[in-house]
A and B are shown apart, each in its own frame.
Chain A
Amino acid sequence: QSALTQPASVSGSPGQSITISCTGTSSDVGSLNVVSWYQQHPGKAPKLMIYEVTKRPSGVSNRFSGSKSGNTASLTISGLQAEDEGDYYCCSYATTYTYVFGTGTKVTVL
């Protein structure tokens, strides 16, 4: 199972919006609406930010939103803040009890 493709890095100024793409195949991202997104700060465990493509867990800022079109999912961060810096990973259920993660995107706030 190949990793989902994400851009290596995305940057933006405070207050701007950025979008991170996550491209897979019809066997993973395109098959079910079960893409999730995780934020990871250096030396920390990943944190769930988006699940089922568009849903936000309780406590996650509404500046984070998700979408999907075909085999590509996207995470948008609006009103970019310094605390949003970190690594972001998408994840999709792939086959029976197998998951695949994205390659990861480093977000930098300029």
Chain B
Amino acid sequence: QVQLVQSGAEVKKPGASVKVSCKASGYTFTNYFLHWVRQAPGQGLEYMGIIRPGDGSTSYTQKFQGRITMTRDTSTSTVYMDLSSLSSEDTAVYFCAREQERDFWFDPWGQGTLVTVSS
């Protein structure tokens, strides 16, 4: 079955970077887009950006421009989200989610990765 499995929880100090992975299985990796969405504790969902595994192209929301990088490894069907210059406001659960091109919805989602930023 289609599955997105994310890497484990991380604890980082302010100013550091974090790299979260999302491994896809059960479908042709390059035929679907992958998005990243985060959720701060007790808060709502916040859209971060998209990576297109077919060609590796990316688009990020303006809020994260300059400190977010999404990459992919087609040999392992894995996408990565790298967020730098972390602050306490980046403490959140980070989700990856799949979209078929031009479908405009996300299904399924990864299980989420908790990133805690604390000194």
Q: Which of the four size classes fits the interface of chain B? A: 20 to 34
A-B contact pairs, 22 of them (CB 8 A): A34-B104, A34-B105, A36-B105, A45-B95, A45-B108, A45-B111, A45-B112, A46-B95, A46-B97, A46-B109, A48-B105, A48-B107, A51-B103, A51-B104, A89-B45, A97-B49, A97-B50, A98-B59, A98-B61, A101-B44, A103-B44, A104-B44
Interface of B with A (CB < 8 Å)?
Answer: 35, 37, 44-47, 49-50, 59, 61, 95, 97, 103-112
Report yes or no: A97 in contact with B45, Cβ–Cβ below 8 A.
no
Chain A residues closer than 8 Å to B49, beta-carbon distance:
97
Interface of A with B (CB < 8 Å)?
Answer: 1, 3, 32, 34, 36, 38, 45-48, 51-52, 57, 89, 91, 93, 96-104
